[in-house]
Structures are given as C-alpha cells and as structure tokens.
Amino acid sequence: MIHQATKNGLYINGSWTQDENQEFFESTNPATGQVEGYCAFATPFQVNQGVESAKNAFRAWKNTPLPERAIFLWKAAQLFEEKKEHLAKTMTKEMGKVLAESLGEVGVVIETCKYMAGEGRRLFGETVSSGATNRHIMMVREPVGVVACITPWNFPVALAGYKILAALISGNTVVWKPASEVALSAQIFTEVFHEVGLPKGVLNLITGAGSKVGAQLAEHSDVKVISFTGSTEVGIKLSETAAKTLKRVSLELGGKNAAIVLKDADLNLAAEAIVKAAFTTTGQRCTAASRVIVEASVKDELLSKVVAITQKLKAGNGLESGVDIGPLTNKNQLETVEKYVSFAVQNGAVIECGGKRIPSEQGYFYEPTVLSNVKNSDRVAQEEIFGPVLAFIEVNSFEEAIELNNDTVYGLSTSLFTSSLHYANRGAKEIESGLVYINNGTSNAELGVAFGGTKHSGNGHREVSHHAFDVMTEWKSIYTTY
Ligand code: NAP
C-alpha cells in the first residue's frame, strides 16, 4: 500500500521500487502551494527496466484468454469504487479541478473498466471466401506488444483509462508515463491494478520529465505503440522520433473549439451550455469552448446572458463546497492566460467580465473572462490558451460562421446552436471537427462513441469506442488449405 506525502517510487515488474540515490520531484497543490507528495525521476536505466518488464510479460498476457483478462478490469472497477473519494481528493489537490469533477472523472474510469471488459469480447475477426478450393481464410486481430501511454494533467485518470484499458484488454502490456503534475494520482490508479493482482510486468508506471522519460520511450525499439494525449507541439515531436523505429503513434491533441450561435437559436440554452463548456475545469479541457461565433443580430442578447451566468461562478479551492472553478494548474498556465488576455486587449478586444488574477497568497486563480470585439485572426482566437477565456466573434450569416469555425489549424470540437433542421444538418456536414454537437456544449464525451479530432487536433486515430482497438491491435491473415 502506498502512502501520500511520502516519497513514492516507480512501479516496475509488479512492485514499487526506487534506487538508493533516487531523485524525486514535488507534487504541489495549485490552490494552496502545499507539497502533497514526492514522485521519482526515473533514470534512463529504470525506463529501460520498465520496457523490459512489459516486453517479458507480453507473451503470457497475450495468451491469457480474453475473458480472463477482462476479470482484472471488472475487479479494478470495484476497487476504484472503494478508492473513489481518496483518488478524487488527490486529483483535486494535485491539479485543482473541483471535487465534484474529480469524483465524476473516477466514475468515468469505473465505467471505462466495465465498457472495455465487455467490448473486448467483441474483438471479432473476419472470414473471406477463398478463390481456391478447399481453402479457408480468416483474419484475426492480434495485440501489438509494448504500448507506451503518455498522458496530460487535465484529466489525470480518465484519459489514462481510455488508453491503458484498451491496451490491456487487447492483450498488450503497458508502460505509462503520466504528466508530472499528477503523478500521485497515477500512483493510486496503478496501485488498484497491483491490488487486483494484475500479473507482473503487464502495467508499469514510470514518472519523470516528459522531455526525458517520454522521449526515451518514443525512441525505444521495444515500444511498438505510442498512445499520446497532450499538446500538438509534443505530439509532432513524438511522431518524428517514433518514425525512426516505425512505431504506430496515436495522437489526441489540442483544440480551438467554437460554439456557433445562429439567430434562430434558443439563447438561454446556448448561454448555459457555452458557459459550462468554457469554464469547467477552469477552461483546461481540450474540448473547452474558447470562441463564440454568433450572428450579429443576437450577439448583444447572448453576450449579456453569458456574462450574467459567468459572473455567478465562484472560484476557489476545489475541495471547498460551493466552488465552481478551481485554480489554473500551475504558474505557467496562469501567466499564459494573462499574456493572451493582454494580446487581445492590445488588438481591440473588450473585457466584458473577468480579465485579471484573483488575489491569493499561494493559488493560481484567474477570473473567468469573457471578451468581445475579437477578430478570428487574433491570436486569442487562433491559439490554444487552455484557460478560462471565452472570445466573442460576430458574423452575418451561417456560411460566414462555418468559414470562421474552420479557419483554424485545429479540428477537435464544435457546437452549433440553431432551431433549424436545415442549418443543423448543413453544419454537421460542413464543420471540420471530429466532434460536432448540435444544441449542446463542446465538451461532452460518451463511452462507445469515437473520440478525437481532425487537422492538428490528432492524427486520425480515435479513442473511447471500439475504434480504440484499431490502435491497439494489428491484423493477421491466416490461409488454411484442407
Ligand atoms: P504536454 O505538455 O504536451 O504533456 C503531455 C504529456 O507529454 C505529459 O506526460 C508530459 O510530461 C509529456 N511530455 C512533455 N514533453 C515531452 C516530450 N518531449 N516527449 C515525450 N513526452 C513529453 O500537454 P499538457 O500540458 O500536459 O496537456 C495539455 C494539452 O493536452 C493541451 O494542448 C490539450 O488540448 C491537450 N489535450 C488533448 C486532449 C484530446 O483528447 N485531444 C485531451 C486532453 C488534453 P511532463 O508532464 O513531465 O512534461
């Protein structure tokens, strides 16, 4: 059993381990500045040990019947239920999201365990009618080998769950490198699989700086798949490195998501949904709404509704009740938000609400901010800020709205608010995003539905649904002459 606020090592080959001279980094609370625990900086030797342990465990795990593999996921679902409160509080202390969101996120992990345990039983193959007599042909899905999962801090366990559980049920073994900001949460997640008795080496946890540990995993010839969620910049670097060893790389990257509001929309519904999508998780979601593209004739009315709802949001320590949004996850995030608001104002944007830090001795708090008079070409409308900033952009037609929505390098998520069947269907077709929501916020995901983005938001792979198996398996064609 691991204990918080102690120095925790790495999880390799079924045990928690650390060197005599192990170096550690702190995990600090972005609301209070308090140190919550220490996690190990893996050495290059330990990274290799993690990969070797996964490689050695692969054959036996691959040959374990799938229903038996699924039992570990069912048991894990049960144990996550028991550890829900502890894990959720650790997440809130590490990265700041409010406790209700953290509890919801553990709920997603529990449901993903159950979903993958069930969906895995449908890893069906195919048969093909042969051109030869007395020949039978079948195609089967096979696991690929060692999968390196590299995950961000904004959803410390849900995104890891999407990757790790799809990899494990398919018969792969895993080396997980979580974001350094949330390494304590990753330890609790890993401990669950230790306690349910997952065979040694099937899941390994390696913590440390992404630029070193993550980069080493991308170079390692025994790693066969990189499943990465994070920034577009790091995703591109990983692809370049992984190409040298012909690894498969699955990328879930950034976004610059818009809510399009047409003049025939239900403005109350749109305003509620937009505020939720913009400021939940303090805007630190890949699917957060950061642009509102609105028809000019309803802009003022929508803006005043959005501002009124935003001004009611209470920022504070996510562990306290009544708090709607927590701090930014680190100082760098806070400074990035300040920088973008200042760029916007220099370019003529108007601050409708928010626009400054919330005084706090130790926490990284920033007011939820709504800007108007923004042009789609402004940096605030083109670059991912990953913070509580929402920019209003006016347009004069549906066609112009679609054009501006698509005029970004990203293509993750778009909402379209309208009461017109015609525009809803045209929007669904013309919007260049992997996720399209009609009369709904930009930030929704359901199990069983493919999740991922187009353009610079990804590289064409999808998670969450059975399409995740396309990343985690490869096809083998078997010809039998009888
Ligand atoms: P990030 O800086 O790209 O880091 C993501 C992960 O990569 C972390 O584990 C990080 O480790 C590691 N890493 C950093 N540099 C690396 C390198 N050179 N080689 C290999 N690994 C490296 O992203 P973040 O700040 O944690 O997360 C925010 C980003 O994630 C945003 O762009 C957001 O849109 C995106 N995101 C996308 C989705 C989606 O599904 N599309 C979902 C959530 C988030 P360290 O923590 O140690 O640096």
Decide if 357 contacts 333 (C-beta within 8 A): no
Distance 137 CA to ligand 1 centre (A): 42
Distance 233 CA to ligand 1 centre (A): 9
Minimal CA–CA distance to 83: which of 199, 191, 213? 191
Q: Which positions are annotated as active-site residues?
A: 252, 286
Q: Kindly tell me the number of DSSP H helices and DSSP E strands found in the chain.
A: 15, 22
* Residue 316 DSSP code: S
CATH class of 10-253+458-481: alpha beta
Pairing mode, if any, of strands 35-40 and 24-28? antiparallel
Pairing mode, if any, of strands 10-12 and 126-128? unpaired
Do the domains 257-446 and 10-253+458-481 match in fold?
no
Q: Under CATH, which architecture does the 257-446 domain have?
A: 3-Layer(aba) Sandwich (3.40)
Which residue's C-alpha comes closest to atom 32 of ligand 1? 231
* 463 Cα nearest atom in ligand 1: 40
* 412 Cα nearest atom in ligand 1: 41
Neighbours of 429 (CB within 10 A): 9
> CB under 6 Å to ligand 1: residues?
150-155, 159, 177-181, 209-211, 214-215, 218, 229-231, 234, 237-238, 252-255, 286, 384, 386, 412, 453, 457
The count of C-alpha atoms lying within 13 angstroms of the C-alpha of 137, restricted to the half-sphere facing its C-beta, is 9
**Would residue 120 be called left, alpha or beta, if left means φ above 0 and alpha means ψ between -120 and 50 degrees?**
alpha
How confident is the model at residue 5, as a pLDDT? Answer: 46
Distances (CA, A) of 351 to 213, 272, 312, 324, 330: 41, 20, 16, 21, 23
* 217 Cα nearest atom in ligand 1: 20
Distances (CA, A) of 97 to 34, 319, 334, 416: 16, 9, 14, 27
The separation between CA 113 and the C-alpha centre of its own chain, rounded to angstroms, equals 16
Which residue's C-alpha comes closest to atom 48 of ligand 1? 210
Of 229, 232, 241, the one to substitute when testing ligand 1's pocket (max ligand atoms within 8 A of C-beta) is 229
Instruction: Identify the bridge partners of residue 476 per DSSP, sorted by sequence position.
Output: 140
How confident is the model at residue 4, as a pLDDT? Answer: 44
The H or E element spanning position 344 is: helix 331-346
Rounded Cα distance between 320 and 323, Å, is 6
How confident is the model at residue 140, as a pLDDT? Answer: 97
Which residue's C-alpha comes closest to atom 42 of ligand 1? 286
Torsions phi, psi of 410, nearest 5?
-90, 165
How confident is the model at residue 331, as a pLDDT? Answer: 95
* 218 Cα nearest atom in ligand 1: 20
Which residue's C-alpha comes closest to atom 46 of ligand 1? 179
**Which strands make up the sheet holding 35-40, listed edge to edge?**
7-8, 35-40, 24-28
Query: Which residues, 6+ apart, have CB-to-CB distance to 304 below 8 Å?
Result: none
pLDDT per residue of the chain (482 residues) written in tens, 0 to 9: 444 445 778 999 999 999 999 999 999 999 999 999 999 999 999 999 999 999 999 999 999 999 999 999 999 999 999 999 999 999 999 999 999 999 999 999 999 999 999 999 999 999 999 999 999 999 999 999 999 999 999 999 999 999 999 999 999 999 999 999 999 999 999 999 999 999 999 999 999 999 999 999 999 999 999 999 999 999 999 999 999 999 999 999 999 999 999 999 999 999 999 999 999 999 999 999 999 999 999 999 999 999 999 999 999 999 999 999 999 999 999 999 999 999 999 999 999 999 999 998 889 999 999 999 999 999 999 999 999 999 999 999 999 999 999 999 999 999 999 999 999 999 999 999 999 999 999 998 999 999 999 999 999 999 999 999 999 999 999 999 99
Residue whose pair of structure tokens reads 């927590």 in the numeric block: 326
Distance 188 CA to ligand 1 centre (A): 20
- Give domain limits for the chain: 10-253+458-481, 257-446
Rounded Cα distance between 211 and 62, Å, is 31
Which residue's C-alpha comes closest to atom 39 of ligand 1? 252
Distance 14 CA to ligand 1 centre (A): 26
DSSP helix/strand/coil, 353: strand
Decide if 41 contacts 24 (C-beta within 8 A): yes
Of 234, 333, 337, the one to substitute when testing ligand 1's pocket (max ligand atoms within 8 A of C-beta) is 234
Which residue's C-alpha comes closest to atom 26 of ligand 1? 152
Helix extents (H) in 29-65: 44-62
* 232 Cα nearest atom in ligand 1: 32
Burial (0-12, 13-18, 19+ Cβ within 10 Å), 380: buried
Distances (CA, A) of 270 to 267, 282, 391: 5, 19, 15
DSSP helix/strand/coil, 310: helix
Torsions phi, psi of 408, nearest 5?
-155, 160
Rounded Cα distance between 241 and 215, Å, is 8
Rounded Cα distance between 170 and 149, Å, is 14
Distance 2 CA to ligand 1 centre (A): 26
